[in-house]
Amino acid sequence: MEAYQALERRRSTRWFLDRPVAIEDLKKIAELGLRSPSWVNSQPYHAHIVTGSTLAKIKEEFLAASQAGKASQPELAATPRKDWSQDAQEHMAHWQAGVKTTLGDMEPLQEAAIHLYNAPAVVYLTLPKGYSPWSLYDLGGFGMGMIIAATERGIASLPAYRFVVYPDIIRKYVTIPEDEVLILGIGLGYRDPSAVVNRITAPRKPLTELLDYKE
């Protein structure tokens, strides 16, 4: 598969099959992600791949915490929607309206989220405390590199805030040094074609709205 084909075929998968991903595939995906650009080759990020019984314990505690109404406590704070640009807010509102049209309401998506989308593998990405803002670009590039590498191997993905809302639970089971900040989780696995939440689409802006060209 060519890179452009992987970009065209990539879709956010919000429910995965009960099918494990081979550790060899996970390691290769991370290795290919390292081909992404990095500021002065600083490579500040770290990846923690979690599967099997460890991930099962995290999912169990996440579910219990969600059902108990535990507040989200991400280490990278989420920006309230009202503080995003007007353009971004309009796109978010349009996407949410589309989800409601597709699913009837938000409940199926919320249910998938509290079960961590049934992902058989999660890659937790961290940065060192005191990281440069430029390192967020590096981490994003590393993550996208992994997503494209996964797509090429027939493995679906989902980068999601929900994976990191309870860092205390994650740190209970994953050896993440205290001097690392938990930034993002990426779910990896095989897409369930029958899952209603996988019908959700996210239309992108036309190029004319976001590109200026000057010769």
For the full predicted model, state whether its pTM sits above 0.85.
yes
Contact 145, 32 (CB under 8 A): yes
Query: In the 3-class helix/strand/coil scheme, how is 11-67 assigned residue by residue?
Result: CECCCECCCCCCHHHHHHHHHHHCCCCCHHHCCCCEEEEEEHHHHHHHHHHHHHHHH
Position 1 pLDDT exceeds 70? no
Q: Per 3-state DSSP, what percentage of the chain is helix, strand, and coil (rounded to 5)?
A: 50, 15, 35
- Summarised one tens digit per residue, pLDDT across range 166-208 is 999 999 999 999 999 999 999 999 999 999 999 998 888 888 8
**% of the chain surpassing 90 pLDDT:** 87
Strands 46-51 and 156-160 turn out to be: unpaired
Domains and CATH numbers, the chain: 3-201 (3.40.109.10)
The pLDDT value recorded for residue 208 is 84
Whole-angstrom distance, CA of residue 11 vs CA of residue 8? 8
The pLDDT value recorded for residue 126 is 98
Nearest to 187 by CA among 108, 86, 115: 115
- Summarised one tens digit per residue, pLDDT across range 82-122 is 999 999 999 999 999 999 999 999 999 999 999 999 999 99
